[in-house]
């Protein structure tokens, strides 16, 4: 179900055990081959597909299209909010949702730079609403072993604008993928302990601007991308998204002695 497609009176009558989900994404550079809206479009697509599959068990809020992207600001077109702004937005939205009687909230993240603040958000809200249930996940951290099995580009290949995001965009919006600009992997050397990709960060977090990590705006290898892989990734991620929403939908607060 889509929040904005209902009338106020229909929302009032809805079962309040239904989890409410919001996509937090980003509007930022993705190299020469992908558009600024890549993360938002990927997040939006997953939400649409989830709604097609189990639309009676989830209520999807209007998405947040701008996230934390300060580390991409050296590249034109990138938009960013501060952590505090995003957390304040999410808190206000949560307060509104809870004031209407819902108490299960899912933050669905589609941008790596939002991962840390997403964790902070559920910790803050979990303490604010002891009777509430808060879940946060990023699509690229679900079913990681199954996702890795799809990847051919090796460590660091499924990074920013790399094999996976490009595959998903080839599936979702091929007319926006500039195939002639799909560049080679140009991840700049760093420390062993700082290397990571979409599936997991390095052993230690090391803050760098994207310009320090890559000179073409991408971190990874889009040459391994394909439409078929986009479909495979979508199926793996959707399976897990359905499982999380189902479990949350079926969760009975009374069974937790609250």
Helices (H), 55-162: 83-99, 115-128, 144-150
Taking the least distance from each CB to Zn ion, the nearer of 38 and 167 is: 38
Question: Looking at beta carbons only, is 27 or 94 nearer to Zn ion?
Answer: 27
Q: Please answer whether residues 168 and 40 qualify as being in contact, where contact means their C-beta atoms are separated by less than 8 angstroms.
A: no
SS3 134: strand
Q: How far is the CB of 190 from Zn ion (least distance, A)?
A: 19
Among candidates 122, 153, 159, which has minimal Cα distance to 38? Answer: 159
Between residues 165 and 197, which has the closer beta carbon with respect to Zn ion?
165
Nearer to Zn ion, 57 or 229 (CB): 229
* Closest distance to Zn ion from the beta carbon of 112 (Å): 7
Residue 183 CA, distance from chain mean position: 24
Cα separation, 100 vs 162, in Å, equals: 41
Query: Considering beta carbons, is residue 38 or 151 the nearer one to Zn ion?
Result: 38
The sheet with strand 104-109 has its strands ordered as 59-60, 20-24, 104-109, 133-138
Output the smallest distance, CB 89 to Zn ion, in A: 20
Pseudo-torsion of CA 24, 30, 35, 41, nearest 10°? Answer: -30
Paired with 197 in beta bridges are: 200
Site residues for Zn ion per CB under 5 A: 38-39, 165
Instruction: For the CB of residue 217, give the shortest distance to Zn ion in the complex, in Å.
Output: 11
- Residue 165: CB minimum distance to Zn ion, A: 5
Closest CB to Zn ion: residue number: 39
Q: Does the CA dihedral 41-42-44-49 come out positive or negative? A: positive
Q: From the CB of 160, what's the least distance to Zn ion, in Å? A: 6
* Cβ-based nearer residue to Zn ion, 132 or 156: 156
| CA distances (Å), origin 51, targets 61, 70, 117, 238 | 11, 31, 25, 10
């Amino acid at each position: 179900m889509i929040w904005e497609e209902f009338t106020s009176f229909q929302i009032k009558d809805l079962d309040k055990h239904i989890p409410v989900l919001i996509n937090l994404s980003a509007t930022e550079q993705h190299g020469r081959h992908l558009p600024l809206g890549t993360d938002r479009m990927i997040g939006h697509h997953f939400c649409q597909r989830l709604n097609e599959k189990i639309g009676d068990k989830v209520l999807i809020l209007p998405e947040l299209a701008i996230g934390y992207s300060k580390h991409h600001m050296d590249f034109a077109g990138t938009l960013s909010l501060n952590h505090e702004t995003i957390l304040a937005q999410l808190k206000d939205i949560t307060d509104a949702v809870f004031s209407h009687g819902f108490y299960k909230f899912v933050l669905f993240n589609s941008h790596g730079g939002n991962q840390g603040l997403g964790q902070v958000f559920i910790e803050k809200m979990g303490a604010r609403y002891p009777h509430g249930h808060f879940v946060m996940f990023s699509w690229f951290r679900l079913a990681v072993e199954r996702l890795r099995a799809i990847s051919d580009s090796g460590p660091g290949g499924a990074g920013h604008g790399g094999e996976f995001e490009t595959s998903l965009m080839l599936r979702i919006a091929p007319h926006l993928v500039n195939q002639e600009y799909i560049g080679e992997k140009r991840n700049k050397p760093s420390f062993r302990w700082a290397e990571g990709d979409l599936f997991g960060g390095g052993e230690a977090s090391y803050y760098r601007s994207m310009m320090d990590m890559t000179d073409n705006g991408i971190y990874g290898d889009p040459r391994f991308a394909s439409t078929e892989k986009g479909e495979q990734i979508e199926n793996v991620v959707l399976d897990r998204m359905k499982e999380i929403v189902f479990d949350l939908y079926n969760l009975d607060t009374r069974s937790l002695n609250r």
